[in-house]
Structure 1
Amino acid sequence: MGPQEVYSRLNCEFSPASCFKGELPMFRQLIVAAFLIAGLPAIAAAQHIFVEAEQFTELGGWDVDQQSMDQMGSPYLLAHGLGVPVKDAVTAVKVKEPGTYQVWVRTRDWVAPWKVPGAPGKFQLLINGKALTETFGTKGAEWHWHDGGKVELREGFTLALDDLTGFEGRCDAICFSKDLSFTPPNKEPEMTAFRREQMGLQGPPKDAGSFDLVVVGGGVAGTSAAVSAARNGLKVALIQDRPVLGGNASSEVRVWPEGHTRQKPFPRIGDIVEELCPPRKAGSGNAKGKDVYDDQRKLDVVLAEPNITLLLEYRVNVVETDNHTIVAVQAQHIRSAERIKVQGKLFADCTGDATVGFLAGADFEVSHEGNMGASNLWNVLDQADKNQVLHCECKDKDVLTVLAEAGNIVAPFPRLPWALDLKDKPFPGRQSYKGQWANTPIANLGGWFWESGFDKDPINDIERIRDLNMRAMYGAWDALKNVDQMYPNHRLGWSAFIAGKRESRRLVGDVMLKADDFRNGTEWPDPAFPNTWHIDIHVPHPSFSKDLKGEEFISEATTGAKYSYKGPYWAPYRTLYSRNIKNLFMAGRDISVEREAIGPIRVMRTCGMMGEVVGKAAWICVAEETTPRGVYENHLSKLKELMQEPGAKRRATLDGELQFPAGYVDVKPAPKGLDPAKLEGIIIDDEASEMKGNWSDNGSLPGFVGENYHYSTDPKASARFPFSVTRAGNYEVRIAWIAHENRAKQAKLEIETAEGRKMVVIDQTQAPTGANGFQSVGTFRFDLTKNYAVNFIVAGAQGNVHIDAIQLVPAK
């Protein structure tokens, strides 16, 4: 039974993904399983037997890597074992003509560009369990066809990729040729033509249908856009090139989604984002366990929408246009190589790389030097900790569990001559060295500041950027384990092989937002999404960059008054559509901003709110038969009305009224922190304070009072918390803050009392000891006849002064 028969029997139009229209997750899993088992045979032509590595029936411990697919024409398999060989990938191959075949394996020595010894990505090819004499992944800095020698093949055999090291070996394809003088093509476009001919996929792409809105990119921005548009009655296709939704916020990359949602004057923008993204709680953050990112939560929200057709594992790489209008995109499945064509009235580029806009000929900008890099986050595991072993995500978990139960808790690690040589260099987590805003040595390993690619092309050089991150991780762990003799029972626990990008192409809209717009508080007639993250631009950290020009792997973020602004700052709708492609929206880090303005807009909850607005604007486009620009020119008031509507409301039809689903109980957004109304005494939140100078409100630590908190290092900054009392007497004054090592060691408070001004100094690096995160700073008398205040003074504070709330409780 072939793939098309599988689709027909499951009532799918063209592929398993087309069935993702409000079905249960288990149904999705059954479809994919049937597809992979029945639909990925090795191709045996008369002259050649061609096997795409990603089409192996059983992938074992190998991962499908599609990040360089546009450059290579195909994904490849990666043996990402963190130094432990991964389980074999296995498939069955039929032979039409038995005889002698020349073996070719497309691979590379991934560390060869750095001219270092070792060739870590070694693997073997097994035929019926017997290894060929040649070891692959041992030569060539570039992808090439590695000569595997000659082999006798009969009617059929089992083919396996046998990883020898667990250190990032990679295989693109295998070709067995009856023509012993033949070498497969290695350059484009000949190579892609050869692939598709051998797989019998030369024909036109399959018709995947027509939609009101086609969203390309299933990160938080794209998923929010798809859900928002679908709930407004549009027929939506959501195309994502990975098996999970969430992008950088997924368990594959594990960046915690930042940015404050549900801000005034449009407090319902962010409703959908909060459905998709799990709430912050103890244990949340970057590079944590996979359950923290809750991939299923995102998938469940999408599958519950009958108007969404979800196309997972499809990568868009062709865009069809007519008169500056996109008419269709073509996408290739990252496993089967099947190509589909998706037509639409409107398109949303939520790829992060502006892929759709670039292919459509949209105006764009991209930085050619000084880019922010990409991170491949990682963490470590203590084999002596049974709980950590129980929750281990290691590919050899069964073996590890047996070792731990037997008391074998020592975790040796080999010397790695091919890794970044850090034996005599500082890096965060080594000795007393720390990265920015990190504290314990373990917390310094694998965090957000492990970042490279500052002078590289974030699209065409992404494999090399990721590989440098891998060399840095392995080099650091080698130095810690074997040079410093630390962490004898620890091993590498998890690492992302998908890079988390920060910067790429940016499409140009009718407004190109600048960083000075944030600083100056520029107001727009079309406010669309709130920004609360600081102007966060990353550069190589000078403390860790010596002798590493072009190979820097630790970053630091911009800080200080120059990179702060008063938030929330509402950015304009006109940054969310292309100025020269008539029907193209965008949401995410590829919107219309100048380079420095990427800093505030790129965090994922903020990107998701862009998507929500795009979905609402798309409905106006279809309902009013207008363009994204036409929404601004003629229907801006309608967009603002929609932005006040709860994200949970749906339309039964395109022209129906927005209504809550049957049985739904709307809960208006509550304070994100502790509710001031539920605390005893008089509460003055930071939102009611009178701030002077530069204060930032883009923090993300939990436990604050009300909607947020502020902090500042501006020596000219101050904050006044005014209050009065309804009964004269003595009151205990309490201050709320969230401790952090970058907080002020000597935050000065001036308390206006009935007996004059009193000065208090507090150390905000230490946690408050009172209830609800408050700390008593003394008891003071206040009368009825005056207004009073608690004043925070930043000058001389020796760190970030944190202001959150003031509490006055009658003294007992």
Structure 2
Amino acid sequence: MTRPFPALMSAVIAALFGMFAATASAQELLVEAESFENHGGWKLDTQSVEIMGSPYLLAHGLGRPVADATTKIELPEPGTYHVFVRTKDWVARWNAPGTPGRFQLLIDGKPLEETFGTKGLEWSWHDGGTVELDRKTVNLTLHDLTGFDGRCDAILFTKEGSPPPNDSAVLPQWRRDLLGLDEAPTLKDGYDLVVIGGGYSGMGAAISAARAGCRVALIQNRPVLGGNGSSEVRVWAMGNIRRGKYPRIGEIIDEFADNATKSPGRKDEFGDDKKLAIVLAENNIDLFLNHHAYKVDTEDNRVTAIYAFDTRTSEHKKFVGRLFSDCTGHGTIGYLAKADWEMEDKGRMGMSNMWAWAEADEPVDFPETPWALDLTMEDFPYPRDHHGQWFWESGFDKDPIQGAEAIRDWNLRAVFGAFNAMKNRDGAEDHRNAYLTWVAFIGGPRESRRLMGDVILTQEDIVAKRDFPDGCVPSTWSIDLHYPKKQYADKFPENPFISVAVHDRRVDRSYGYPVPYRCFYSRNIDNLFMAGRCISVTHEALGTVRVMKTCGMMGEVVGKAASICVSRDCEPRDVYERYWSELDELLKLPGKAYRASTSEQFTIPDDALESAGPYGPPSGVDPAKLAGIVVDDRQANKTGKWTEGQGLKGYIAYGYLYAGGNSNSTVTFELESPATGSYELRVAYQNHENRGSKVPVTVQVGSEKQTHRINMQQEPPVENGWISLGTYDLRKSDRVSVTVSTEDAGGNAHADAVQLLPVK
């Protein structure tokens, strides 16, 4: 059959273009900076791929030049090459004086005459001039000059003398041609669930689904797991777990959660290696670190595949699965799939870049930073305990995706400006020995897109404790929304960098508000789950569900629901509408319950945790591990106005109660003797200067009463915060009551627990 003329001409043109492309590639070589064999002290930055189309290397040295990045390349042939470096002057967008990101490119140890990182408001190809090379194999070195966040995306060697397109799309055709990448991506097929995002929510979803018998792909665009809760960002994981309607939920998170005592904490406290080992131990998980998802295929309101590229080699892969879970935090996969989404126009929270410093034995210099924010010690809150904490936050109402690099860079200018004030300005006398130990170069975003589900949870739902039948994940954080702090915003009204947290504390922090399952899947993309910051809530409700342990529990629920979708050949919505009783049963299983496939029965391993109960595992001293009978304040009868507290450590069980003196309030503990004998009676409290000096504690046995006056400003004399109320001879089943009162207490009355202890 004769081929139509237009099709024939298209084939000829395509063939000619292929010949041209082959000829052109023989004259050019593109070197991606991330593909350098040795990154030295340069960091791989992937947070801004959506902005400039590629990962890049960042010289994040805190004011000290980082070690060289090196690699060996093979040119098409010897000869004269024009060299272009894709980079930018990262402070030029603000017309800031100076060029902090300066670096050199060395070829076989000799630097080009041009210094890079000194031009370009945006990412662009910086002309490095020509170089004469008499051999094909040469060594490249990126040599940092400042330690102040110079950046390099790629290097082009060309005989044509002109740079390639400055296209910011991810893996555009010209990059693929120059890198010699196959047109067809590497196929990764056969997955029950593809999880995109390796933070707490993504890890929870992947591990939960794998243990429920699903084959899982876990895709993370960083070299470590944990997201904001990794050593790169160092936000300690908040939110209470293992409580509420399903106290088994959270047991998986408990396996890998950090043990940081501060935010930011030390690198080792975030357990990157532990997180990795736990994921790698799951036979049903294929882990893809350093893979950035950038494209999706959809058909009939379903995601059929997602595409990701290796941020080190640029190899692109196609992941085909039955179900997908967006755990990116930004709702990236849902956005690409055209899922319904929302993002607050005004009042949106920003991004944190925390920092820390220490003191040496000798004075330490710090370079002047004329390009940083112009700050004195009065322009920012003093970093207590050597930490710049969560409130070093900017980017309010800025685009959290397209503006991510600019937000992070503004944060860096704020941090370095503050430290410059400490070292070289009005704080110099007190900080001669101070030096920076860590500054986050990966920002910790709080809010961006939210994907809409069948339920959109509101602040009113949470405060009123609206009881959804599919409520399952306990949210215990207050409704915590961040805004610019006016005290520090006046100097930089267009982009404040210090935040204040505004709390609605009407959230049940003990039992938790059960977030509905219907917030965890898309209402218009049939096979798309979501977990984490991008679930179906309003801006206000996001304030309580956004903390990491809560996000991780969402992932656990998604993983178990995915196993039902596989076994029942159904969609996420069907789990609620038709198979909720099955998910109800799965949510009651221990976190370590395991089956190799969805068609098998679960095995409960010997090291499975005991169920914690509706209020979770005790955050203080476990009453079950104490001798005798212990009655906690949660089991006591209260009158008047008492406040729950956890700030004074060493308490029994979950916290304690306190009330103002003369507030006419009481707490009464009831006990019953288990057998006839002598018993010591004790009451527990935590001492503080604002506690009462003569708090009345009344003991009643039968009709006999005795009142003790306790000075709760003094440390309790017995381990675990106890003080003795005397010894009593009791018969079996005698009832004993202990009442703590505020009457004439001389300060706040404190009520924690009582103990009835047999006397041997």
Which of 147, 150, 153 pairs up with 1:166? Answer: 147
Q: Which amino acid aligns with 2:483?
A: V
Secondary structure of the corresponding residue to residue 425 of structure 1:
helix
Residue 408 of structure 2 aligns with which residue? Answer: 466
- 1:260-659 pair list within 5 angstroms: 260-278=240-258, 280=259, 284-384=261-361, 409-423=362-376, 425-429=378-382, 441-443=384-386, 445-483=387-425, 484=427, 485-559=429-503, 561=505, 567-659=511-603
Asked if structure 2 preserves the Cα contact closer than 8 Å seen for 1:748 and 1:792, the reply is no
Unaligned runs of 5+ in 1: 1-42, 385-408, 431-440
Alpha-carbon distance between aligned partners in 2 of 1:147 and 1:270, rounded to the nearest angstrom: 54
1:729 positional shift? 11
Q: Deviations over 1:696-718 (max 9, x none)?
A: 879698644224567899x9997
Matched-pair identity in %: 46
1:335 positional shift? 0.8
Asked if structure 2 preserves the Cα contact closer than 8 Å seen for 1:208 and 1:341, the reply is yes
Alpha-carbon distance between aligned partners in 2 of 1:59 and 1:712, rounded to the nearest angstrom: 58
1:745 positional shift? 6.8
Alpha-carbon distance between aligned partners in 1 of 2:735 and 2:742, rounded to the nearest angstrom: 23
Secondary structure of the corresponding residue to residue 537 of structure 1:
strand
Task: Please give the TM-score of this superposition, normalised by the length of structure 2.
Answer: 0.87
Q: Which amino acid aligns with 2:233?
A: V
Larger Rg: 2
- 1:20-39 pair list within 5 angstroms: none
Q: Which amino acid aligns with 2:30?
A: F
Asked if structure 1 preserves the Cα contact closer than 8 Å seen for 2:28 and 2:157, the reply is yes
Which of 601, 620, 625 pairs up with 1:673? Answer: 620
Residue 13 of structure 2 aligns with which residue? Answer: none
Asked if structure 2 preserves the Cα contact closer than 8 Å seen for 1:102 and 1:151, the reply is yes
Alpha-carbon distance between aligned partners in 1 of 2:43 and 2:582, rounded to the nearest angstrom: 46
Q: Deviations over 1:500-549 (max 9, x none)?
A: 12112111111111122221111111122111111111122233223121
Alpha-carbon distance between aligned partners in 2 of 1:717 and 1:333, rounded to the nearest angstrom: 66
Q: Deviations over 1:110-161 (max 9, x none)?
A: 1122222121111011111111111111122211111212222232321111
Q: Which moved more, 1:620-629 or 1:559-568?
A: 559-568
Q: Would the alpha carbon gap of residues 712 and 356 (structure 1) be closer, same or farther in structure 2, given more than 3 Å must change?
A: farther
Q: Would the alpha carbon gap of residues 507 and 191 (structure 1) be closer, same or farther in structure 2, given more than 3 Å must change?
A: closer
- Is 1:177 the counterpart of 2:127? The answer is no
Q: Would the alpha carbon gap of residues 56 and 561 (structure 1) be closer, same or farther in structure 2, given more than 3 Å must change?
A: closer
1:48 positional shift? 2.0
- Is 1:124 the counterpart of 2:104? The answer is yes
Alpha-carbon distance between aligned partners in 1 of 2:535 and 2:693, rounded to the nearest angstrom: 39
Alpha-carbon distance between aligned partners in 1 of 2:663 and 2:568, rounded to the nearest angstrom: 51
Secondary structure of the corresponding residue to residue 536 of structure 1:
strand
Asked if structure 1 preserves the Cα contact closer than 8 Å seen for 2:663 and 2:742, the reply is no
Secondary structure of the corresponding residue to residue 593 of structure 2:
coil
Secondary structure of the corresponding residue to residue 141 of structure 1:
coil
Alpha-carbon distance between aligned partners in 1 of 2:191 and 2:86, rounded to the nearest angstrom: 38
Q: Deviations over 1:357-411 (max 9, x none)?
A: 1111111111122221211222113333xxxxxxxxxxxxxxxxxxxxxxxx321
Q: Which amino acid aligns with 1:57?
A: E
Alpha-carbon distance between aligned partners in 1 of 2:694 and 2:29, rounded to the nearest angstrom: 76
Q: Which amino acid aligns with 2:635?
A: A
Q: Would the alpha carbon gap of residues 263 and 46 (structure 1) be closer, same or farther in structure 2, given more than 3 Å must change?
A: same
Secondary structure of the corresponding residue to residue 223 of structure 2:
coil
Q: Would the alpha carbon gap of residues 510 and 717 (structure 1) be closer, same or farther in structure 2, given more than 3 Å must change?
A: farther
Residue 203 of structure 1 aligns with which residue? Answer: 183
Alpha-carbon distance between aligned partners in 2 of 1:475 and 1:782, rounded to the nearest angstrom: 69
Q: Which amino acid aligns with 2:104?
A: Q
Secondary structure of the corresponding residue to residue 524 of structure 2:
coil
Secondary structure of the corresponding residue to residue 549 of structure 1:
coil
1:789 positional shift? 2.8
**Superposition CA RMSD, Å:** 3.4
Q: Would the alpha carbon gap of residues 589 and 692 (structure 1) be closer, same or farther in structure 2, given more than 3 Å must change?
A: farther
Q: Would the alpha carbon gap of residues 523 and 461 (structure 1) be closer, same or farther in structure 2, given more than 3 Å must change?
A: same
Unaligned runs of 5+ in 2: 1-22
Residue 789 of structure 1 aligns with which residue? Answer: 739
Secondary structure of the corresponding residue to residue 125 of structure 2:
strand
Alpha-carbon distance between aligned partners in 1 of 2:411 and 2:719, rounded to the nearest angstrom: 40
Alpha-carbon distance between aligned partners in 2 of 1:213 and 1:500, rounded to the nearest angstrom: 26
Alpha-carbon distance between aligned partners in 2 of 1:519 and 1:665, rounded to the nearest angstrom: 34
Alpha-carbon distance between aligned partners in 1 of 2:726 and 2:445, rounded to the nearest angstrom: 51
Alpha-carbon distance between aligned partners in 2 of 1:546 and 1:749, rounded to the nearest angstrom: 47
Q: Which moved more, 1:109-118 or 1:720-729?
A: 720-729
Q: Would the alpha carbon gap of residues 588 and 45 (structure 1) be closer, same or farther in structure 2, given more than 3 Å must change?
A: same
Q: Would the alpha carbon gap of residues 118 and 286 (structure 1) be closer, same or farther in structure 2, given more than 3 Å must change?
A: same
Alpha-carbon distance between aligned partners in 2 of 1:708 and 1:310, rounded to the nearest angstrom: 40
Q: Would the alpha carbon gap of residues 219 and 521 (structure 1) be closer, same or farther in structure 2, given more than 3 Å must change?
A: same
Secondary structure of the corresponding residue to residue 558 of structure 1:
strand
Alpha-carbon distance between aligned partners in 2 of 1:223 and 1:421, rounded to the nearest angstrom: 41
Asked if structure 2 preserves the Cα contact closer than 8 Å seen for 1:111 and 1:119, the reply is yes
Secondary structure of the corresponding residue to residue 608 of structure 1:
helix
Secondary structure of the corresponding residue to residue 336 of structure 2:
helix
Q: Which amino acid aligns with 2:487?
A: S
Secondary structure of the corresponding residue to residue 413 of structure 1:
coil
Q: Which amino acid aligns with 2:528?
A: L
Residue 10 of structure 1 aligns with which residue? Answer: none
Q: Deviations over 1:197-248 (max 9, x none)?
A: 1101250211012211111111111111111111111111111111111111
Alpha-carbon distance between aligned partners in 2 of 1:110 and 1:704, rounded to the nearest angstrom: 50
Q: Deviations over 1:97-121 (max 9, x none)?
A: 3333222111111112222212111
- 1:46-85 pair list within 5 angstroms: 46-85=26-65
Asked if structure 2 preserves the Cα contact closer than 8 Å seen for 1:95 and 1:154, the reply is no
Asked if structure 2 preserves the Cα contact closer than 8 Å seen for 1:90 and 1:160, the reply is yes
Q: Would the alpha carbon gap of residues 54 and 601 (structure 1) be closer, same or farther in structure 2, given more than 3 Å must change?
A: same
1:772 positional shift? 4.7
Asked if structure 1 preserves the Cα contact closer than 8 Å seen for 2:156 and 2:163, the reply is no
Alpha-carbon distance between aligned partners in 1 of 2:160 and 2:25, rounded to the nearest angstrom: 12
Asked if structure 1 preserves the Cα contact closer than 8 Å seen for 2:240 and 2:509, the reply is no
1:470 positional shift? 1.1
Alpha-carbon distance between aligned partners in 1 of 2:121 and 2:449, rounded to the nearest angstrom: 27
Q: Would the alpha carbon gap of residues 462 and 679 (structure 1) be closer, same or farther in structure 2, given more than 3 Å must change?
A: same
Which of 83, 97, 112 pairs up with 1:103? Answer: 83
Alpha-carbon distance between aligned partners in 1 of 2:529 and 2:636, rounded to the nearest angstrom: 38
Alpha-carbon distance between aligned partners in 1 of 2:519 and 2:634, rounded to the nearest angstrom: 28
Alpha-carbon distance between aligned partners in 2 of 1:694 and 1:212, rounded to the nearest angstrom: 52
Alpha-carbon distance between aligned partners in 1 of 2:746 and 2:89, rounded to the nearest angstrom: 54
Asked if structure 2 preserves the Cα contact closer than 8 Å seen for 1:233 and 1:652, the reply is yes
Q: Deviations over 1:724-755 (max 9, x none)?
A: 5759999876443497xxx9677996645566
